[in-house]
Amino acid sequence: MPRYTSYPPAPAWGETYDANDFRRDLAELGERPDQPLSLYVHVPFCASLCHFCACNRIITRDTALPARYLETMRREIAAIREATADTGRLASQQHWGGGTPTHLDPDQIRSLYGALVDAFPMAPDAEISIEVDPRVTTEAHVDALRDCGFRRMSMGVQDFDPRVQEAVHRIQPEAQTGALVERARAAGFESVNFDLIYGLPYQTEESFSRTLDSVIALAPDRLALYAYAHVTWVAKQQRGFERKDLPAPTTRLRIMLGAIRRLLDAGYEFIGLDHFARPDDELASALRDGSLRRNFMGHTTQEGVELVGFGPSAISELSDSYAQSKRDLGAWETAVESGGVATLRGFRLSADDQEQRWLISRLISLGSIDAADFAQRFGKTLASSHATELSRLGPAAEDGLVDVAVDGSVRVTPAGRLLVRNLATVFDRYLPDPKDDGKKVFSQSV
């Protein structure tokens, strides 16, 4: 199932889009000074391999690799800065993901952050966030992050059950996570997020319910509840999981539904897709007032954000194009050394793509498409211009998952929100033909 962090989805992008295309698109950034600018930094390193992991990461304890990575990052930052004719715009968001950004030591973090904001200054009220692994994140890291200006911290937790942790090769005592939550709050982090995964080996409804007891007691401000993606062609180590040890599909579904119920009972709001937040969190209010949007960094409250990515595999999402850097660390380094930017592939959106992207993104982030909004933006009527797609929502409407009004406005029902990715596929013109081995393109999901 496509995750729709982008439309067209990444498998549809092509390698004919190259570094020259990316440079040209970066140069146009300066023409849109009013659109918010966001920065993404990919730090690919981790100290040990979690056997479920499908992220782009490199397992290493060799300190030479991060040192070389920092040097290459400086060059990439300089090259991207030079390519953007944009001089005055302050970035309103910055996010570091991975891998594990806190695999870098505190001095390396300060130095990389400094290089980035020297080139791309941040707005005073910018939203600055980072993904951390509690097993490697020290007090000195927390202090360095706060000094830099990070305000939101997302922690990988996954599951607290010792048997599950052993099976996935990730021993992370509850007390260790709890201590980091406390430290982050004491240091002034405004928001703490936990990542959880359901569908891991040995999970049962009871075991995951115990994990949720601990999670709820630690009271993170936000939660991501991911479905375990079994993508053995990307993450070969997942082949070590015995089928018999993975929860059966019905158990998996019950774990998910049970978890949603527990989190709602504990006072969290369902933000959509995999995300939950406290009612006073800005994502919850953005969902209520219709300003919630979604991009590669997750949910956001800013409309029309242009995202520039740094590091191997990083994705940039400009107004009408996507670009991804080479995924392999060595290939990324070589390309940056020789040409400044390391574009692997990308995509230029046509007017038609932009329209379909708008429809999919409204459905996914807000659970609705407003016909008047559509008419104002695209100068045509939704009901007639998208009649075929709207009619394909008919069976879902009969099942009570979605309401389609006469003017074409769409509203996803509470039951339909769990299946919103499936509903969005009616607007997807790049969906692979199922006869065409589509399972190799997208991961399994709910």
Question: Look-up: residue for tokens 């897709």?
Answer: 273
Smallest distance, ligand SF4 to C-beta of residue 229, A: 12
Q: Nearer Cβ to ligand SAM, position 285 or 445?
A: 445
Taking only Cα atoms into account, the Rg of the chain, rounded to an integer number of angstroms, comes to 22
For residue 312, give the nearest of 131, 6, 42 by alpha carbon: 42
Q: Nearer Cβ to ligand SAM, position 25 or 221?
A: 221
Q: Nearer Cβ to ligand SF4, position 50 or 393?
A: 50
Residues in contact with ligand SF4, counted by CB under 6 A, come to a total of: 11
Contacted entry of ligand SF4, ligand SAM, none for residue 195, CB cut-off 5 to 8 Å set by kind:
ligand SAM
Structure token digits, residue 292: 């919630």
Helix H or strand E encompassing 322: strand 321-325
The residues that bridge with 346 in the sheet, in sequence order, are 14, 323
Q: Is 172 a residue that touches ligand SF4 (CB under 6 A)? A: no
Smallest distance, ligand SAM to C-beta of residue 411, A: 29
d(CA 268, CA 63): 40
Contacted entry of ligand SAM, ligand SF4, none for residue 226, CB cut-off 5 to 8 Å set by kind:
ligand SAM
Give φ, ψ of 251 to 5 degrees.
-65, -45
Q: Is 49 a residue that touches ligand SF4 (CB under 6 A)? A: yes
Q: Nearer Cβ to ligand SAM, position 298 or 340?
A: 298
Q: Are strands 222-227 and 368-369 parallel, antiparallel or unpaired?
A: unpaired
Angle between helices 205-218 and 249-265 (to 10 degrees): 30
Q: Nearer Cβ to ligand SAM, position 109 or 390?
A: 109
3-state DSSP assignment of residue 231:
coil
Angle between helices 174-187 and 139-148 (to 10 degrees): 30
Angle at 225 between CA 417 and CA 360, to 5 degrees: 40
In the chain, how long is the greatest CA-to-CA distance? 62
Contact between residue 65 and residue 329 where contact means Cβ atoms under 8 Å apart: yes
Smallest distance, ligand SAM to C-beta of residue 255, A: 13
Contacted entry of ligand SAM, ligand SF4, none for residue 228, CB cut-off 5 to 8 Å set by kind:
ligand SAM
Q: Is 227 a residue that touches ligand SF4 (CB under 6 A)? A: no
Q: Nearer Cβ to ligand SF4, position 155 or 284?
A: 155
Q: Is 220 a residue that touches ligand SF4 (CB under 6 A)? A: no
User: What residue ranges bind ligand SAM (CB under 6 A)?
Assistant: 46, 52-55, 97-100, 131, 133, 156, 158, 195, 197, 226, 228-229
Q: Which of 25, 76, 86, 133 binds ligand SF4 (CB under 6 A)?
A: 133
Q: Nearer Cβ to ligand SAM, position 36 or 98?
A: 98
Contacted entry of ligand SF4, ligand SAM, none for residue 197, CB cut-off 5 to 8 Å set by kind:
ligand SAM
Q: Is 53 a residue that touches ligand SF4 (CB under 6 A)? A: yes
Query: What counts of helices (H) and strands (E) characterise the chain?
Result: 16, 19
Which residues, 359 to 418, sit near ligand SF4 by CB under 6 A?
none
Distances in Å between the Cα of 16 and the Cα atoms of 135, 195, 437 are: 41, 35, 23
Q: Is 156 a residue that touches ligand SF4 (CB under 6 A)? A: yes
3-state DSSP assignment of residue 67:
helix
Contacted entry of ligand SF4, ligand SAM, none for residue 229, CB cut-off 5 to 8 Å set by kind:
ligand SAM
Q: Where are the beta strands (DSSP E) in 86-190?
A: 91-98, 122-132, 152-158
Q: Is 199 a residue that touches ligand SF4 (CB under 6 A)? A: no
Residues that bind ligand SF4 (CB under 6 A): 46, 49-50, 53, 55, 57, 98-100, 133, 156
